[in-house]
Amino acid sequence: MENTLAPAIILFGSPGSGKGTQAKLLRRCLNAPHISTGDMLRAHISAGDEVGRQSQQLLRAGKLVSDELVNELVRERLLEPDARSGILLDGYPRTLNQAQALLRLTVEDGFRPIVVHLGVDYAKTVARLSGRRQCPVCGTLYSLKTNPPKVQDVCDLDGTALITREDDREAVIRERLREYDSLTLPILKFFREAGVPMIEVNAGEESPEQIRQRICQGLAELGVAGAIEAVSPGSAVR
Ligand code: AMP
């Protein structure tokens, strides 16, 4: 049965678990803007504004920026008109403090939180991230191994030269995984205890399209409007 509260879908998983890729694929079954705090911070850094200045060094080192800063960015973003029908969060929340702030916001603003947990093993993550390239203009992600651009080092969509993000270097990836383990992973327990529904997906084995179908199936089972596509068996809503 369809649930009329606007969904706040939280794409949750370690760096390199495919959150950004799924956020783009999920446009097919969801009418919700993709809100990536990483992309928002990178836009501020490119703009050279105060938020960008505060975050630049931290991003370079694979460290988290302050909870106050990202909580405020997300709070403001949720007030924009396109967020009224639902949102797809990618890379937020990343600490317990952020998770608590988000749950408060969802209650105040009438959203229904749903966690989508993309599980992968870390050895794969390091290989995946160090082979990742991104278009600096449209944000499209490529993987040298599984999803290369048609022409080497050039974006299929707009012809821009692809870049390796600074934080996709191996030492920084390992630091990001450490941060994930100590600060971010405990949030799952918090969401479970708060009764937030959780769609568990093993994101290490299947193709991005198969993973997308599992997520859409889980969302359809939870009554999220739009997520009613052809689905394959086996997705787990817990
Ligand atoms: P992402 O693109 O999501 O991998 O984020 C890239 C970097 O941006 C992270 O390594 C952090 O430095 C910063 N960042 C993004 N989202 C958050 C967040 N929710 N809390 C703190 N730092 C963040």
18 lines ligand 1 (CB under 6 A): no
Whose CA is closest to atom 19 on ligand 1? 92
128, 132, 212, 214: the catalytic one is 132
Torsions phi, psi of 143, nearest 5? -120, 130
- The structural domain count of the chain equals 1
74-110 confidence digits (pLDDT tens)? 999 999 999 998 999 999 999 999 999 999 999 999 9
Active site residue 28: no
| pLDDT at site 229 | 47
CB atoms within 10 A of CB 209: 9
Instruction: CATH number of the domain at 116, please.
Output: 3.40.50.300
- Domain that residue 27 falls in: 6-120+185-230
173, part of any domain: no
User: Residue ranges of the chain with pLDDT lower than 70?
Assistant: 1-3, 227-238
86, part of any domain: yes
109, part of any domain: yes
Nearest CA among 5, 76, 7 for reference residue 37? 76
- pTM exceeds 0.85: no
SS3 of the chain: the string is: CCCCCEEEEEEECCCCCCHHHHHHHHHHCCCCCEEEHHHHHHHHHHHCCHHHHHHHHHHHHCCCCCHHHHHHHHHHHHCCHHHCCCEEEECCCCCHHHHHHHHHHHHHHCEEEEEEEEECCHHHHHHHHHCEEECCCCCCEEECCCECCCCCCECCCCCCECECCHHHCHHHHHHHHHHHHHHHCHHHHHHHHCCCCEEEEECCCCCHHHHHHHHHHHHHHCCCCCCCCCCCCCCEEC
CA of 4 to the centre of ligand 1 (A): 31
| pLDDT at site 1 | 56
CB atoms within 10 A of CB 161: 11
**What's the CA gap between 87 and 33, in Å, rounded?**
5
> Tokens at residue 108, please?
């105040």
Active site residue 176: yes
Whose CA is closest to atom 8 on ligand 1? 38
Q: Which atom of ligand 1 is nearest to the CA of 37?
A: 16
177, part of any domain: no
Active site residue 165: yes
Active site residue 94: yes
131, part of any domain: no
196, part of any domain: yes
192, part of any domain: yes
> Tokens at residue 155, please?
């974006």
Q: What type of residue is 51?
A: V
158, part of any domain: no
Q: What type of residue is 42?
A: R
> Tokens at residue 125, please?
């993550």
| pLDDT at site 197 | 96
Residue pair 133/152 in contact by the 8 Å Cβ criterion: no
